């Protein structure tokens, strides 16, 4: 790269890992540069590779950041999380439905106040960045103002975020209820206002089949058909009581997932959280329609919902991604989410490699959302969302990593022992948006 071309260019030296495929299905699915260099210009990836090969591209007016001894990976992607539930994380209840009634609905009520929404949105995004998450698929509340507050906070940080207004016109307190037409009209207005404005993307968000009338489901499905590049997010087959309830509400549907299919909601860019109580036909339908699963292990264990079946999902080749599902989930950290994912899979007799866990938390999320090439890896011209992981973050991590003998073992230590403390720095579109401590390795 010539000096005149480099403009706002930065180079980052570190060990670098990213994915070009799913390690469960592809042999050469990752690139690993033990002494690597990532070159970023104007917020986009210019090049990634061995330092020795790329160092001649570092021009005099480029800033070189030396993170030697640390690990750079793409920013984590959390494909299912509720920002309004931030303040009720770790609230005890005897399962999903009592938890919704006792804590969730009263907490979400507070978002009728835009000042409160702004305050929580700001905290939530900073917490994501502290944990190394640069993109998330986010539930707001039923209040349109909660969506404005969220996107304003995201836009101010220049983050690639997907979010939407909850649609909910029955089986909830009156103070949280919209109407079939009103909810969908508000969604349309929010799509016009926010979808593709800077880095913001909109998701049509029926909470779940139990809290929308047939009419709201029908209108939401139509809206999704009219806007194929807009996202769609909802919950499915999380908990056996919920499954039985949905069956009683939609007795003609073949399955819970089939309710969504009947209303035209299985399509690319739709993400289904949980997917625990599915059958093989459901998995085949997800695959055929390019709908994605958001696996939410900390939430599923916390609420006692069940164990996600990795073997069956992989046999069906469904798009998979990882998600925290805070406040049902108990951690904002995708490293902690990998930890619990590993154990949930282990309980089902599946060994998930650490490479695959890192894939699922990065490129797997991007692929699930049909955003590959834009985020999730270091493809040429991808948006430069990346994080710096520190193997010295805690005494135990340092001790364990020092004794690992392979990339797989080292990543496994990060996945099982790591959390927000392991994230030394987070960059969004090439800009530093979180630094755990001051960094002294820079030279101008
Ligand atoms: N199902 C319907 N709403 C919710 C929610 O807020 N959290 C979870 N985990 N499941 C849900
Ligand atoms: Zn959820």
List, as one string, the DSSP characters of 162-230: EEEPEE--SSS-GGG---HHHHHHHHHHHHHHHTTSTTEEEEEEE--GGGS-HHHHHHHHHHHHH-TTS
Going by C-alpha positions, the residue among 260, 54, 399, 348 that lies closest to residue 45 is 54
Kindly identify the ligand whose nearest atom is closest to the C-alpha of 324: 2
Report CA Rg, the chain.
21
Write out pLDDT tens, residues 32-77: 999 999 999 999 999 999 999 999 999 998 999 999 999 999 999 9
Strand partners, 182: none
Q: Please give the pLDDT value at position 309.
A: 98
Domains of the chain with CATH codes: 3-75+375-443 (2.30.40.10), 76-332 (3.20.20.140)
Which of 109, 235, 256 for mutating ligand 1's site (highest number of atoms within 8 Å of CB)?
235
- Give the residue-averaged pLDDT of 186-209: 98
pLDDT at 441 over 80: no
Question: For residues 21 and 27, what is the distance between their CA atoms, to the nearest angstrom?
Answer: 9
- Beta strands 44-50 and 431-435 are unpaired
Question: For residues 366 and 378, what is the distance between their CA atoms, to the nearest angstrom?
Answer: 12
Cα 74 to averaged position of ligand 2 atoms, centre (Å): 24
- Give the residue-averaged pLDDT of 206-226: 98
The H or E element spanning position 117 is helix 114-130
Cα 251 to averaged position of ligand 2 atoms, centre (Å): 24
Residues near ligand 1 with C-beta < 6 Å? 82, 96, 100, 104, 207-208, 235, 238, 299, 325, 328
Look-up of token digits 């996107």 = 151
Cα 274 to averaged position of ligand 2 atoms, centre (Å): 8
- Give the residue-averaged pLDDT of 179-187: 98
- Write the DSSP assignment of 21-49 as a string of letters: S-TTT-SS-EEEEEEEEEEEETTEEEEEE
Cα 325 to averaged position of ligand 2 atoms, centre (Å): 5
Kindly provide the residue ranges of all beta strands, DSSP E only, lying in 227-359, ordered along the sequence.
231-236, 270-274, 292-295, 319-322
Name the DSSP class of 75.
P
Whether 6 and 62 have beta carbons less than 8 Å apart is answered as yes
Mean pLDDT, the chain, whole residue set:
96
Whether 220 and 248 have beta carbons less than 8 Å apart is answered as no
Whether 285 and 311 have beta carbons less than 8 Å apart is answered as no
- Give the residue-averaged pLDDT of 18-31: 97
Paired tokens of 115: 């000042």
Cα 242 to averaged position of ligand 2 atoms, centre (Å): 13
Q: Please give the pLDDT value at position 346.
A: 98
Q: Please give the pLDDT value at position 316.
A: 98
The model carries a pTM of 0.97
Specify burial of residue 441 (Cβ count, 10 A radius: 0-12, 13-18, 19+).
Answer: middle
Whether 322 and 367 have beta carbons less than 8 Å apart is answered as no
Going by C-alpha positions, the residue among 75, 68, 61, 83 that lies closest to residue 34 is 68
pLDDT at 5 over 90: no
What are 300-303's contacts with CB under 8 Å, separation 24+? 300/238, 300/274, 300/276, 300/344, 301/340, 301/344, 302/328, 302/329, 302/330, 303/93, 303/95, 303/96, 303/99, 303/238, 303/239, 303/328
Q: Which pLDDT band holds residue 7 (cuts at 50, 70, 90)?
A: low
Write out pLDDT tens, residues 311-365: 999 999 999 999 999 999 999 999 999 999 999 999 999 999 999 999 999 999 9
Whether 81 and 137 have beta carbons less than 8 Å apart is answered as yes
Q: Residue 416: CB partners within 8 Å, gap ≥ 6? A: 338, 339, 342
Q: Please give the pLDDT value at position 369.
A: 98
pLDDT at 443 over 70: no
Percentage of the chain beyond pLDDT 70 is 97
Residues near ligand 2 ion, CB 5 Å cutoff: 273, 325
pLDDT at 2 over 80: no
Residue 23: half-sphere exposure toward Cβ, Cα within 13 Å: 19
The H or E element spanning position 50 is strand 44-50
Q: Cis link prior to 109 (omega < 30° from 0)?
A: no
Say what the alpha-carbon torsion angle 294, 297, 299, 305 is, to the nearest 10 degrees: 100
Q: Is 357 helix (H, G, I), strand (E, B) or coil?
A: helix
Please tell me the residue having the least CA distance from ligand 1 atom 7. Answer: 328
Q: Please give the pLDDT value at position 437.
A: 82
Write out pLDDT tens, residues 261-300: 999 999 999 999 999 999 999 999 999 999 999 999 999 9
- Beta strands 231-236 and 63-74 are unpaired
Whether 10 and 431 have beta carbons less than 8 Å apart is answered as no
Q: Which pLDDT band holds residue 4 (cuts at 50, 70, 90)?
A: very low
Residue 12: half-sphere exposure toward Cβ, Cα within 13 Å: 34
Going by C-alpha positions, the residue among 247, 250, 309, 225 that lies closest to residue 274 is 309
Q: Please give the pLDDT value at position 444.
A: 37
């Amino acid at each position: 790269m010539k000096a005149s071309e480099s403009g706002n260019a930065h180079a980052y030296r570190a060990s670098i890992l990213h994915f070009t495929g799913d390690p469960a299905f592809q042999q050469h699915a990752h690139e690993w540069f033990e002494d690597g260099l990532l070159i970023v210009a104007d917020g986009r990836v210019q090049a990634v590779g061995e330092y020795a090969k790329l160092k001649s591209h570092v021009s005099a007016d480029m800033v070189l950041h030396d993170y030697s001894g640390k690990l750079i990976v793409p920013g984590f992607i959390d494909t299912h999380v509720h920002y309004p539930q931030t303040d009720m994380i770790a609230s005890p209840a005897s399962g999903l439905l009592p938890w919704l009634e006792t804590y969730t609905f009263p907490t979400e009520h507070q978002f009728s106040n835009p000042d409160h929404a702004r305050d929580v949105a700001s905290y939530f995004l900073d917490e994501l960045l502290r944990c190394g998450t640069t993109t998330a698929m986010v539930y707001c509340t039923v209040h349109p103002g909660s969506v404005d507050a969220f996107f304003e906070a995201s836009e101010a940080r220049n983050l690639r975020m997907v979010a939407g207004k909850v649609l909910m016109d029955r089986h909830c307190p009156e103070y949280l209820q919209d109407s079939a037409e009103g909810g969908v009209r508000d969604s349309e207005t929010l799509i016009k206002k926010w979808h593709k404005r800077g880095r913001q993307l909109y998701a049509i968000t029926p909470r779940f089949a139990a809290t929308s009338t047939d009419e709201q489901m029908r209108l939401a499905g139509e809206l999704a058909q009219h806007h194929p590049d807009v996202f769609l997010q909802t919950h499915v087959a999380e908990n056996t009581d919920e499954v039985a309830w949905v069956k009683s509400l939609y007795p003609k549907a073949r399955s819970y997932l089939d309710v969504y299919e009947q209303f035209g909601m299985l399509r690319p860019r739709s993400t289904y959280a949980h997917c625990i109580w599915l059958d093989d036909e459901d998995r085949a339908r997800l695959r055929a329609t390019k709908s994605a699963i958001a696996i939410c292990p900390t939430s599923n264990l916390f609420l006692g919902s069940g164990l996600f079946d990795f073997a069956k999902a992989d046999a069906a080749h469904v798009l998979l991604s990882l998600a925290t599902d805070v406040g049902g989930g108990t951690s904002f950290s995708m490293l902690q989410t990998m930890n619990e994912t590993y154990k949930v899979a282990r309980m089902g007799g599946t060994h998930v490699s650490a490479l695959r866990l890192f894939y699922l938390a990065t490129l797997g999320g991007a692929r699930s959302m049909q955003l590959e090439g834009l985020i999730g890896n270091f493809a040429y011209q991808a948006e430069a969302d990346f994080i710096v992981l520190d193997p010295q973050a805690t005494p135990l991590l340092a001790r364990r990593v020092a004794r690992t003998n392979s990339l797989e073992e080292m990543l496994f230590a990060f996945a099982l022992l790591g959390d927000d403390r392991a994230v030394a720095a987070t960059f969004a579109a090439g800009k530093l948006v979180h630094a755990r401590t001051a960094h002294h390795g820079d030279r101008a």
